[in-house]
Amino acid sequence: MFRARSELVSLLCVLCLACSVPAGALADDETRFAEGLEAYDAGDFDATVAAWRPLAEAGHVEAQVAVAGLYLQGLGVRADPAEAARWYRTAAEAGDAVAQLNLGDLYSRGLGVPLDLVEAYAWLTLAAEQGNRWPAARRDEIAVGLSDAELEEARKRVNRYRSSL
């Protein structure tokens, strides 16, 4: 009962927030994002970061995924896999499939996060559930090395993360 009520409150908050954001601001965000993409295309990574990071910090999920990629590759910023993982996690928790598969990939390699195949399995599963074949294949590779108990734990995490998305 309490949970249903809190979900309703969350939904109303989201709706209010969506209504309070002017359409012009959304369009501006997309324009700003496109400017960053154009700069990225041109190899001007400083301008890319200048365009995308403020968007990412403001909650633009696509920009969060893009900024994570910049941190992972060290383009326009000092390479920082931990920072990349942080941005991927933020976007993954917002339900972005690309962020989920990359976060799972980082966990499977211990890059920017501790090596954790159970966590990798969980995030790759969530990405695979959105119809992407790559995380499904990677998850199945990982599953071979997991014990029954670890698989059980991974599935619990999948359920937990799914319910909080």
Q: Does 153 bind another protein (CB under 8 A)?
A: no
Q: Is 155 exposed, middle or buried (0-12, 13-18, 19+ CB in 10 A)?
A: middle
CA distances from 27 to 24, 31, 66, 79, 116 (A): 5, 6, 18, 30, 39
Q: Could you say which residues in the range 4-43 bind another protein, by CB under 8 A?
A: 30-31, 33-34, 37-38, 40-43
Kindly report the three-state secondary structure assignment for every residue of 34-91: HHHHHHHHCCCHHHHHHHHHHHHHCCCHHHHHHHHHHHHHCCCCCCCHHHHHHHHHHH
Cβ–Cβ < 8 Å for 56, 65: no
Binding segment toward another protein, per CB under 8 A, in 2-10, 50-58, 125-133, 152-160? 125-133
The CB-of-26 to another protein minimum distance in angstroms stands at 12
> For residue 7, how many C-alpha atoms fall within 13 Å in the half-sphere facing its CB?
7
Q: Could you say which residues in the range 36-75 bind another protein, by CB under 8 A?
A: 37-38, 40-44, 46, 62, 65-66, 68-69, 72-75
Which one, 66 or 161, has the nearer CB to another protein? Answer: 66
User: Would you tell me which residues interact with another protein (CB under 8 A)?
Assistant: 30-31, 33-34, 37-38, 40-44, 46, 62, 65-66, 68-69, 72-75, 78-79, 81-82, 98, 101-102, 105, 108-111, 113-115, 117, 131-134, 141-142, 144-145
